[in-house]
């Protein structure tokens, strides 16, 4: 019986995207996603200039900062939703507004989040 290593299993997760305007959080998240087996992991600090080029790319998973200045996360989330791409929002703010209707079923990770939380999301 051949047992695949954990690293070999996780390498099958594919490309991921992190949209985060805080560099420390972005690089920490990149490290966690790579440890879980996503590759490559792309980081963007803003989406406004990238929406068209990103629309042509395929991601297995995405983490979108909910509170970007231009609300581009919600615009890009619509593209991901139409494609069936798995994604979550991340926020350092706890407010009672909730998500707009099409995104209500999606989780909002509270910052800072952990490797264990990400691992549970992708399991």
Give me the mean pLDDT over the 87-102 stretch.
Answer: 80
What's the sign of the alpha-carbon dihedral 123, 21, 109, 113? positive
- Burial string for 49-68 (b: 16+ CB within 10 Å, else e) reads ebeeebeeeebbbbbbbbeb
pLDDT score of 94: 66
The structure's pTM equals 0.84
pLDDT score of 9: 47
pLDDT score of 11: 52
Tell me the three state secondary structure of residue 4.
coil
**What is the Cα 43 distance to its own chain's centre?**
10
Report the candidate in 97, 89, 53 with the shortest Cα–Cα distance to residue 73: 89
CA R_g for the chain? 15
Domain ranges of the chain: 6-122
CATH top-level class of 6-122: alpha beta
Whether pLDDT at 88 is above 50: yes
Percentage of the chain modeled with pLDDT above 70: 85
Where is 90: in which H helix or E strand?
strand 86-91
Report the candidate in 14, 7, 12, 37 with the shortest Cα–Cα distance to residue 118: 37
* 96-122 per-position pLDDT tens digit: 567 888 888 888 899 999 999 999 988
Give dist(CA 107, CA 25) in Å, integer: 18
Cis upstream peptide for 112 (omega within 30°): yes
């Amino acid at each position: 019986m051949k047992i695949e290593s954990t690293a070999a299993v996780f390498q099958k997760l594919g490309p991921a995207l992190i949209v985060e305007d805080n560099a420390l959080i972005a690089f920490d998240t990149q490290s966690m996603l790579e440890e879980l087996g996503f590759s490559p992991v792309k980081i963007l600090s803003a989406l406004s200039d990238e929406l068209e080029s990103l629309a042509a790319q395929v991601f297995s998973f995405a983490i979108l900062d909910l509170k970007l200045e231009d609300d581009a996360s919600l615009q890009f989330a619509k593209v991901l939703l139409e494609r069936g791409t798995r994604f979550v929002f991340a926020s350092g703010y706890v407010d009672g507004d909730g998500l707009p209707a099409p995104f209500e079923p999606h989780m909002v990770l509270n910052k800072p989040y952990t490797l264990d939380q990400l691992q549970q999301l992708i399991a």
